[in-house]
Amino acid sequence: MPQSNADEPGRNDSQHPSGNQHPSGDRLPSGDQPRSANRLPGAFEADLPPLISGAEPETQERFLEFFLAEIRNENTRKAYGRAVARFLRWAGRQDFSLEGISPMVVSAYVEQLKPKLAPATVKQHLSAIRRLFGYLQATGALPENPAEPVRGPKHNPREGSTPILTAEEASRFIEGLPTGSIKGKRDKAIIGVLTYTFARVSAVVNLSQEDYFQAGRRRKLRLQEKGGKRRDVPLHHKATDYLEEYLEAGGRLEEKGEPLFRTMTRQGDLSGRPMDRTAVLRMVKSRASDEGLDPDQVCCHTFRGTGITAYLQNGGKLEVAQHIAGHADASTTKLYDRRRELVSKEEVEKIGI
């Protein structure tokens, strides 16, 4: 029997949050089910919505083809799959046929989403619907794209909503993490990498041991980001120290493709399985709670935003922060620049009452 995974107590693959059950109640993929004619491919493996399973075989094929050929990023594929499934199930409950979906139907759906979801999420859902129907139109499965004229809610944030820590808070938190066990060393290394490389958690959990390498006098990480882009990021000396301590304790694996950050067995040893984003998030919130921080105000992106803000506070250049973070546009990097927020907190304390 395979060893139990101590990072996911009491769960099997079908119960995992990234498996086939979404909080909305929609079925999502487990990733281990066999593909069949009525299931989405690859990461989706969820039952097709009735509007698609009841459509012509060619339309079903174009629908599946959209997710296989048109959407290359796995995370985007999952997000779009959930958004599309939610819309099509809603439309089916309103007794619309696939051909009967009009711009008014899509617009009505967007309106009923607005009280439930953040504007950015509503826009993402609409984007998924628009791209799907655009593909079905382009391939001849449908005569028109009913989502094309529909506009989503205005959303142009000047600052991000991700909660961040001050440099002092982050330093106390990271340095205070217990490292008496291999799990503690692993967790500290993960949080250090998130902070000092500005990396997305999806890139961190996808790291293999060969992605941590020596280049001249510096250690680097080779991160795979959105769209399959790979970039080499020089490591801060503290992140290097955390990683070295973790690898020395856990044993360096020479076999190519071995995950850098692995789950724990119930015996307290490293397994051969990579951690996933959900396990890292759970770990981050648990560590935050242990250190006296509000776990509802700390997430994986907290350390990305904290690292970017600290870098800019110390005179770093925005274009360099953009490059390190792997952002295509500097406006995205600016969302993580929370210097004004931190200055405001300091200024408020000057009120001498």
> DSSP assignment of 197-238, as one string?
H---HHHHHT-BGGGEEEETTEEEEEEE-GGG-EEEEEPPHH
- Residue 199 — pLDDT band, cuts 50, 70, 90? confident
Q: In the predicted model, is pLDDT for residue 1 greater than 60?
A: no
Is 23's pLDDT higher than 60?
no
Q: Specify the pTM.
A: 0.57
Does 131 lie in the same domain as 68? Answer: yes
Closest by CA position to 151, among listed 119, 182, 184, 176? 119
Same structural domain, 237 and 271: yes
Given this model, what pLDDT does residue 47 score?
74
φ, ψ of residue 47 to 5 degrees: the values are -55, 140
Residues 115, 185 within the same domain: no
Task: Answer yes or no: are the C-beta atoms of 74 and 43 closer than 8 Å.
Answer: yes
Please tell me the least confidently modeled range out of 53-62, 187-196, 327-336: 327-336
Is residue 212 pLDDT above 90, yes or no?
A: yes
Q: How many CB atoms lie within 10 A of CB 155?
A: 12
User: The CATH number of the domain where 211 resides is what?
Assistant: 1.10.443.10
Q: Are residues 110 and 195 in the same domain?
A: no
Closest among 131, 332, 173 to 123, alpha carbons compared: 131
Q: How many CA atoms lie within 13 A of 300 on its CB side?
A: 20
Same domain, 268 and 301: yes
Q: How far apart are CA 77 and CA 270, in angstroms?
A: 30
161 in a structural domain: no
Confidence bin at 95 (pLDDT 50/70/90): very high
The pLDDT of residue 161: 59
Condensed to tens digits (0 to 9), the pLDDT of residues 56-81 reads 999 999 999 998 888 877 778 888 99
Asked if pLDDT for residue 347 goes beyond 60, the answer is: no
What local confidence, expressed as pLDDT, does residue 257 receive?
80
Is the model more confident about 177 or about 32? 177
Domain holding 41: CATH number? 1.10.150.130
Angstrom CA distances, 202 to 76, 209, 247, 298, stand at: 12, 16, 20, 17
Report yes or no on 341 lying in a domain.
yes
* Dist. CA 277–CA 89, nearest whole Å: 27
Please, what is the average pLDDT of the chain? 79
Read off the pLDDT band of 12 (50, 70, 90): very low
pLDDT score at 118:
82
| 165-187 average pLDDT score | 91
Least confident range from 46-60, 165-179, 208-222, 337-351: namely: 337-351
- Separation CA 129–CA 155 (nearest Å): 18
Mark residue 139 as left, alpha or beta (left: phi above 0; alpha: psi -120 to 50; beta: remaining): alpha
Q: For residues 157 and 312, what is the distance between their CA atoms, to the nearest angstrom?
A: 19
Same domain flag for 147 and 261: no
Q: Are residues 43 and 176 in the same domain?
A: no
- Helices 167-175 and 300-313 meet at what angle, rounded to 10? 130
Rounded mean pLDDT of 247-262?
Answer: 82
Query: What's the number of domains the chain is made of?
Result: 2
Instruction: Name the pLDDT band for 113 (thresholds 50, 70, 90).
Output: very high
State yes or no: pLDDT of 164 exceeds 90.
Answer: no
Average pLDDT over residues 35-56: 64
Check residues 158 and 353 and name the one with the higher pLDDT. Answer: 353
Nearest Cα neighbor of 80 from 135, 16, 129, 26 is: 129
What residue numbers bound the domain in which 296 lies? 167-348
What pLDDT does residue 32 have? 35
| pLDDT over threshold 60, residue 157 | no
> Does the pLDDT of residue 290 top 70, yes or no?
yes
Among 131, 156, 181, which residue terminates a domain? 156
Same domain, 282 and 133: no
The encoded tokens of residue 115 equal 């009280």
* pLDDT > 90 fraction of the chain, expressed in percent and rounded: 40
